[in-house]
Structure 1
């Protein structure tokens, strides 16, 4: 019973984290100062072939996840599939909101982009702290490092440079924001993730204590 309740709470955290992360992604795209490397690819595919940005996020995620599975010769965790689908759906949901419009001024664009990066980092921190599995891109990165014995940082750089080049050739939004995101995103996530993990573990621990108290009360009655 405890394990089931813990899993339910982790699932809520996982979903909320993805919802927040998708909002951050959407804000960085709408700000129109250049997107993150993977989003440059998604937007470029959208420009060239239609559909939606969220749909391309799902399609690319499926391809990447499948490739990671082939490399590792095992099925990725359930959380990776859920991540792939929900992030794409949430991005399209946010894109439909009337308030999601590009700011007129440079200051407004910069503010939207910065807020988007912060929200993205904390959304990722929350979903990762739920410990239900990484997303398709991170799964591919881990598979690549396991197969090649490269450092994680080198594998990630290679992936993002390749994805960025393809996205740029497709007409994706490469600008100063792309450079800023590539340089600063790791730092933002590095700050957000420990905070989110601390709060998550505290919440889950408090929940277990509450359950223990209820059981003891029931036994005493």
Structure 2
């Protein structure tokens, strides 16, 4: 039990770091455009100041507070840590990673960011310790309305994108790329990471055969 607990939190933490690295890479390649939520974060940063990571945290606090008021349930610790750690690591990686000076560099950094983001989500979600605040509110709306996840997700991202664009956030072909491909990468990475975590928890390869034809149910919702 202790081994499983430690491994799940390790996967969660590493996944959050990888996710934040991917976000920072796409921000460095923002001449192509970035994901809807990051358009909003960057727009707020450009208009008001603070930092991109700080705005990710502040909006997360607002979202978590709203979901608590609606559901009357306290947030899972994973959701709170997700909110805090993603914002912190975004700022750290934004500081560490240099700006690409050429368009080929921008394209390479951005595409690497999209792939890294997809795997970061797969790693942290495999730990099953709680989704981030944005995914939490998405699921709350799905439960309240009965609408499909894809419909709710697109609706939320369109609203966020419109606000971010109004604030001057960068929109471009990269915004479309993230919308189309990050989810597809997660559909690949999540079963892989779930299987790897289970094999590490078991301490042997027994789960490989057991799960070979039964990928994680979590992948179906993404």
Q: Give the match for residue 28 of structure 1.
A: 26
Matched, 1:200 2:197: yes
Provide TM-score, normalisation by structure 1.
0.89
Q: Give the match for residue 74 of structure 2.
A: 75
Matched, 1:18 2:49: no
> Which of structure 1's runs of 4+ aligned residues deviate more than 3 A?
none
In our comparison, the structure showing a higher alpha carbon Rg is 1
Provide TM-score, normalisation by structure 2.
0.88
3-state SS of the aligned residue for 2:128? coil
Gapped runs of 5+ residues in structure 2?
A: 207-222
Q: Give the match for residue 214 of structure 1.
A: none
Find the aligned partners of 2:66 and 2:154 in 1 and give their Cα distance: 18
Gapped runs of 5+ residues in structure 1?
A: 210-221
Q: How far does residue 75 in structure 1 lie from its aligned partner after superposition?
A: 1.4
Find the aligned partners of 2:129 and 2:103 in 1 and give their Cα distance: 39
Find the aligned partners of 1:146 and 1:117 in 2 and give their Cα distance: 29
Q: CA RMSD in A?
A: 1.5
Q: How far does residue 114 in structure 1 lie from its aligned partner after superposition?
A: 0.9
Find the aligned partners of 1:118 and 1:205 in 2 and give their Cα distance: 28
Matched, 1:86 2:90: no
Q: Give the match for residue 125 of structure 1.
A: 122
* Corresponding pairs, count: 205
CA contact (8 A) 1:76 1:139 kept: no
Find the aligned partners of 1:168 and 1:106 in 2 and give their Cα distance: 22
Deviates more, 1:65-74 or 1:181-190: 65-74
